[in-house]
Amino acid sequence: MDLLRKKLSLLPEKPGVYLMKNAAGKIIYVGKAKVLKNRVRSYFTGSHDQKTQKLVSEITDFEYIVTSSEVEALLLECNLIKKYNPQYNIMLRDDKSYPYILITSEKHPRLIVTRQVQKKKGKYYGPYPNATAARETARLLNRLLPLRKCKQIPAKPCLYYHLGQCLGPCLHSITAEEYEEIIDKANQYLRGNQKSIISWLEEKMHAAASSLQFEAAREYRDLIADLHKISEKQNITLNDFKNRDIIAYFANEELLSIQIFCFRQGKLVTRDGFIFPYYAEPEEAFVTFLVQYYSEKAAIPDEICIPELNSSSVFDILPLVIPKRGKNRELINLAQANAQTVLEEKIKLEKDKKEEVNRTLEGLTEVLQIPKAEVIEAFDISSLAGTGVVGGMIQFQGGRPYRSNYRKFKIEPLANNNDDTAYLKHVIYRRYARLLKEDKPLPDLVLVDGGKGHVKAALEALQDLQIQLPVAGMVKDERHETRGLINNKGQEIDLTSKPEVFRLIQQIQEEVHRFAITFHRQQRLKNITASELDNIPGIGPKRKRLLLSTFQSLEQIKNASLAELTKAGLPQNTAEGVYNYFRKNN
C-alpha cells in the first residue's frame, strides 16, 4: 500500500492511459484519463459502488502511459484492451455474425456473400439482416454484371461465359479499365442507387427490342422486375439512402445498456444490443465502447448518430453526428428507450431467476434438514457388465452446473467387478482425500446416483477420511426416471410437494449420468481399438477415427478389401499396411 501511495503522489496532470494490476501482476483493468492524477487517485479515495469496490480490492499496482492528447489516449486505451483482454473491461463478445456482400480486390474481381470480414480483401457492403437477403441481392447482381464467378480461373470457359455473365479471363486478358464500369454499377446499386441501374437496363431492353432481339429484351425485363421486387421487400424508413448507425445508451448504478440501429441504404437491417458493467462515468464508458466497437468493423457507416456528449475527443476518430431534431433525433430517443427497456427487463429476469433458485435451494435444505446447499457435488459410476468401470463427478453452484469443476475418474478393476457401491466408495474417497490434501473447500451436499447401498458407501468413504458431510441418494423408478431422494438415514423423501426441488434433482441426476456414461463410452472406444489399430504403422488418431466412422466396427475393418480401405481415404501404402496386418495376424 505504501508503494501505491508513493506512485499516486507522482502522477502527472496530463492525459494518458492507466493499467491496473492484481497481486499476480496481471493487468485487470485499462482506463483513459483527461488528467491522470485526478482519475487514478479517484479509485482510492471516497466511497464506491459494489462493482468498483471489487475492482479496487484487487488492485495492488498500476502503470500509466502519458499521451499528447485525449484523442491519443482514447485510441491507445482501445489497443491495450485488445492486447491484454482485462477481466474488468468491456468485452465485446458478440456472437452474431451478419452477412456482407464483398466486391473482391482481386485482379479479376468477384461479388460474393461472406460473414468473414477482412479489410484487405476488398469492399464490403452490409450488414444484411440475414443470409437470404444477401444471397438474393448477390445472385441478381451476378446475373446482371459479368464479373468472375469461379473461385479459381479454369483452363477452359465455363457456362457463365457462354451466358454472357462473365468476361472470360480464362480465355483472354481483361484490363482493369474493362472492369471499372462493371464495378461502378455494382457499387452504385449496393450504395442504394437502384434507379440508375434500372434506367440503364431499360435502355438496354429498348435497344434489344428495336434490334428485334426479343430474347435479350425479355431477359432485361425480368431483371428489372427482380430489382423492383427486392426493393419492395426492404422497408425504407429513411429517404436519404445513407448508411447510418443510430446509437444510444441507458445506465443504472452498475450496468450500461447500449442499443444500435443499423441503417443501410436508408433501410433498417439489424439491431444490436450490449449490456455490461462500467467503472468510470457512463458517458466515458460509452465513448470507450464506440471506439472499441468500430475498430472491429470493416465498413464504418457514413454517419453515426449519438446523443449529446461532453467529450469532444471521439469526434476526431469517428464520423459522429448529434441530431437536434427530425427523424434521426426521434430514432435516438427510440434507441434510448429500447436500451432502458432491455436493461430493466434483464434486471427483472435475473432477479426472478435468482429468487426461484433461492426458493429451490431453501426447499432442498428443508427436506434434507441441512444448513445450506450452495455447492452440490454428485457422483455416478458407469460400466458395461462390470468392465471398463469409470466414475463421473459434477458440481452445481447456486443451482447451476459449474463445468470447470467436473471430474472424471479411471478405476482399476476390484475383486467384485459388479459391485457399484465399492467403486463409488473408492471414487468418493479419492475426491475428498485430494481436497483435504490441497486444503480446498468441501461441498455443502454430496449426491449419489443410487439408493440406500450407495448412500451407505459414500458415508463410509467420508467416515474413513473423518469428514462429516450431508449425503443423499437420487433414486429412480421402474422406468429409470427420477423418483426422489434417500437421506443419510436410508429414508426416502417424497418430493411431490416440492416440484422445484424435484426438477433440480432430476437435472442433476440426468447431468451426472450423461457425464459418466459419455466418459465410459470414450474409454471403451479407446480400449476397443487400442490393441489393434494402434499397432499398425501409419495409423494415428485421425486415421483411426476415419476408419471407425467409415466401417463402424473393428470387425468390418478386418474384413475390408484393399479397394475399400483406399476408397475410405487411406493412402495406398497405408491401406496395404492395414490390409496385410489383419491378414497376417489372422
Top pLDDT among 465 and 230 is at 465
CA distance 361 to 374: 7
- Our separate counts of H helices and E strands in the chain read 18, 19
Mean pLDDT, residues 549-577 taken together? 86
- Exposed/middle/buried for 260, CB within 10 Å: 0-12, 13-18, 19+? buried
Residues 6+ apart with CB under 8 A from 234: 133, 267
Amino acid 98: pLDDT: 67
**Helix or strand run (H / E) with residue 245:** strand 244-251
Query: What is the CB-side half-sphere exposure of residue 555 using CA atoms within 13 A?
Result: 0
pLDDT at 94 over 60: no
Nearest CA-CA partner of 252 in 329, 343, 314 = 343
pLDDT at 452 over 80: yes
- Exposed/middle/buried for 121, CB within 10 Å: 0-12, 13-18, 19+? middle
Q: Which residues pair with 277 in a beta bridge?
A: 255
**Helix or strand run (H / E) with residue 267:** strand 267-277
Phi, then psi, of 474 in degrees rounded to 5: -100, 105
Residues 6+ apart with CB under 8 A from 160: 149, 150, 166
**Helix or strand run (H / E) with residue 345:** helix 326-368
Q: For the whole prediction, is pTM greater than 0.85?
A: no
pLDDT at 416 over 70: no
Average pLDDT, the chain: 84
Amino acid 507: pLDDT: 92
Q: Does domain 531-585 have CATH number 1.10.150.20?
A: yes
Residue 314 per-residue DSSP state: G
Cα 15 versus chain centre, distance: 35
Mean pLDDT, residues 212-217 taken together? 79
Distances (CA, A) of 192 to 139, 238, 241, 242: 17, 12, 6, 8
Amino acid 188: pLDDT: 79
Nearest CA-CA partner of 21 in 50, 56, 61 = 61
Amino acid 417: pLDDT: 60
Residue 408 confidence class, pLDDT cut points 50, 70, 90: very high
CA distance 113 to 97: 12
Mean pLDDT, residues 417-421 taken together? 75
CA distance 458 to 488: 9
Stretch(es) of the chain classified as CATH 3.40.1440.10: 2-84
Residue 238 confidence class, pLDDT cut points 50, 70, 90: low
Stretch(es) of the chain classified as CATH 3.30.420.340: 375-520
pLDDT digits (tens, 9 = 90+) for 321-331: 999 988 889 88
Superfamily (CATH H level) for 2-84: GIY-YIG endonuclease (3.40.1440.10)
pLDDT digits (tens, 9 = 90+) for 479-488: 888 888 999 8
pLDDT digits (tens, 9 = 90+) for 33-48: 889 999 999 998 877 7
Helix (H, G, I), strand (E, B) or coil at 156: coil
pLDDT digits (tens, 9 = 90+) for 291-304: 888 887 767 888 99
Pairing type for strands 387-397 and 320-321 reads unpaired
Amino acid 119: pLDDT: 64
pLDDT digits (tens, 9 = 90+) for 502-517: 999 999 999 999 999 9
Class of domain 244-344: alpha beta
Nearest CA-CA partner of 279 in 554, 39, 8, 55 = 55
Mean pLDDT, residues 440-455 taken together? 93
SS (H, E, C) 158-170: CHHHHCCCCCCCC
Residue 129 confidence class, pLDDT cut points 50, 70, 90: low
Stretch(es) of the chain classified as CATH 1.10.150.20: 531-585
Choose the weakest-confidence range: 64-68, 362-366, 472-476.
Answer: 64-68
pLDDT digits (tens, 9 = 90+) for 330-350: 889 988 988 998 898 888 888
Contact between 319 and 303 under an 8 Å Cβ cutoff? The reply is: yes
What are the grid coordinates assigned to 431, written together? Answer: 475426491
Q: Which residues pair with 125 in a beta bridge?
A: 101
DSSP states of 456-522: HHHHHHHHHTT----EEEEEE-TTSSEEEEE-TTS-EE--TT-HHHHHHHHHHHHHHHHHHHHHHHH
pLDDT at 443 over 90: yes
Amino acid 235: pLDDT: 39
Q: What is the CA radius of gyration of the chain?
A: 33
Contact between 506 and 371 under an 8 Å Cβ cutoff? The reply is: no
Helix axes 194-210, 176-190, angle to 10 degrees: 120
Amino acid 234: pLDDT: 45
**Helix or strand run (H / E) with residue 556:** helix 554-559
Helix axes 499-530, 326-368, angle to 10 degrees: 90
Residue 236 per-residue DSSP state: B
pLDDT at 29 over 70: yes
Contact between 554 and 425 under an 8 Å Cβ cutoff? The reply is: no
Task: Supply the CATH classification number for the domain 375-520.
Answer: 3.30.420.340
pLDDT at 455 over 80: yes
Amino acid 505: pLDDT: 93
How many of the other CB atoms lie within 10 Å of CB of 167? 19
Mean pLDDT, residues 106-118 taken together? 85
Top pLDDT among 162 and 347 is at 347
What are the grid coordinates assigned to 535, written together? Answer: 499397432
Q: CA 173, 177, 182, 184: dihedral to nearest 10 degrees?
A: 150
